[in-house]
């Protein structure tokens, strides 16, 4: 059947909602995807929240996989929030916007129009209040997942904004240049007196040769510091390159680790 002349509805994902959230902080309109656990409608509980960078492609994965992890008892019931860009039509647009939002000024790979401070303000002043007002979302149990630029951003946030999230899943964020920048951030983090409890899963693909040195160096630094309230889980995903295998496996393995029962 020729469908080119009629509108076809989007395929739905169970228990999801879509919200448009204009940001005065960034000057950008975000599309926010929300996945609610199956018990949400029949309970009055408050739930931990997993925030996803790059929601344009990670939210579909999360909304599809998270229910099975919850159903098998591997992770607790959580709310999933994906941060995407509204009204873009190409992957090139997406790439430019994600780098603008998540590569900070002063970083060698940051674009000239970097707005990372504004994006962080969006999280703190606009997104968190929106989610925690409209949903029974915990303000004290937030997790952040990111891959590639998003993985770098997850590590950056842990080291520069301690306490904003309590759990981090970071994948493939230590390419040359990024590793040195993160080591500088860690040095400043070490000099602070406040190191809130944090649970970090940090992974790369075994085929990401350009990332292996930075991955190992940062892991060794964190281990030598012996931060008393840092639970560090690391993994090299053998045979995987900078692609879908790392995204999918780091998401599943990462959730299992950062939400593991004590």
Q: What is the pLDDT of residue 261?
A: 83
In whole angstroms, how large is the CA radius of gyration of the chain? 18
CATH 3.40.50.1820 is right for the domain spanning 16-258: yes
Q: What is the pLDDT of residue 178?
A: 97
User: Residue 160 in contact with residue 185, Cβ under 8 Å?
Assistant: yes
Give the separation between CA 136 and CA 99, rounded to whole angstroms: 31
What's the first-to-final CA gap in the chain, in angstroms? 55
User: Residue 166 in contact with residue 138, Cβ under 8 Å?
Assistant: no
User: Are β-strands 16-23 and 28-35 bridged in parallel, bridged antiparallel, or unpaired?
Assistant: antiparallel
Q: Cα 131–57–169 angle (5° rounding)? A: 65
Q: What is the pLDDT of residue 124?
A: 98
- Altogether, the residues listed in the chain come to a count of 262
Q: What is the pLDDT of residue 249?
A: 98
Among all chains, which residue has been given the structure tokens 């009629």?
Answer: 6
Q: What is the pLDDT of residue 7?
A: 76
pLDDT in tens, 7-59: 777 678 889 999 999 999 999 999 999 999 999 999 999 999 999 999 999 99
Q: What is the pLDDT of residue 127?
A: 98
Q: What is the pLDDT of residue 13?
A: 87
Q: Which of 118, 142, 120, 145 is nearest to 59 (CA)?
A: 145
Tokens of 130: 């929106």
Strand order, beta sheet including 16-23:
16-23, 28-35, 79-85, 47-52, 137-147, 167-171, 198-205, 230-237
Q: What is the pLDDT of residue 76?
A: 97
Q: What is the pTM of this model?
A: 0.95
Long-range CB contacts (< 8 A, 24+ apart) of 2-8? none
Sign for the pseudo-dihedral over CA of 117, 253, 174, 33: negative
- pLDDT tens for each residue of the chain, 262 residues long: 455 556 777 678 889 999 999 999 999 999 999 999 999 999 999 999 999 999 999 999 999 999 999 999 999 999 999 999 998 989 999 999 999 999 999 999 999 999 999 999 999 999 999 999 999 999 999 999 999 999 999 999 999 999 999 999 999 999 999 999 999 999 999 999 889 999 999 999 999 999 999 999 999 999 999 999 999 999 999 999 999 999 999 999 999 999 998 6
């Amino acid at each position: 059947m020729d469908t080119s002349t009629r509108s076809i509805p989007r395929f739905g994902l169970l228990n999801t909602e879509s919200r448009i959230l204009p940001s005065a902080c960034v000057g950008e309109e975000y599309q926010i995807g929300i996945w609610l656990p199956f018990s949400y409608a029949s309970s009055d509980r408050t739930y931990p929240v997993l925030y996803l960078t790059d929601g344009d492609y990670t939210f579909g994965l999360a909304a599809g996989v998270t229910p099975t992890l919850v159903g098998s008892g591997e992770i607790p019931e959580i709310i999933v929030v994906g941060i995407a860009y509204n009204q873009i039509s190409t992957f090139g647009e997406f790439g430019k916007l994600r780098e603008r939002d998540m590569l900070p000024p002063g970083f060698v790979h940051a674009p000239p129009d970097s707005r990372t401070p504004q994006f962080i303000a969006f999280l703190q002043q606009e997104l968190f209040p929106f989610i925690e007002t409209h949903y029974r979302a915990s303000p004290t149990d937030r997790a952040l997942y990111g891959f590639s630029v998003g993985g770098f951003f997850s590590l950056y946030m842990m080291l520069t904004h301690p306490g904003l999230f309590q759990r981090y899943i970071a994948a493939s964020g230590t390419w040359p240049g990024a590793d040195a920048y993160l080591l500088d951030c860690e040095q400043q983090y070490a000099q602070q007196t406040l190191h809130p409890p944090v649970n970090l899963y940090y992974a790369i693909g075994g085929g990401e040769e350009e990332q292996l040195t930075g991955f190992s160096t940062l892991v060794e630094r964190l281990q030598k510091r012996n931060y008393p309230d840092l639970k560090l889980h690391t993994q090299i995903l053998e045979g995987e390159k900078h692609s879908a295998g790392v995204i999918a496996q780091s998401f599943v393995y990462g959730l299992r680790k950062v939400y593991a029962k004590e």
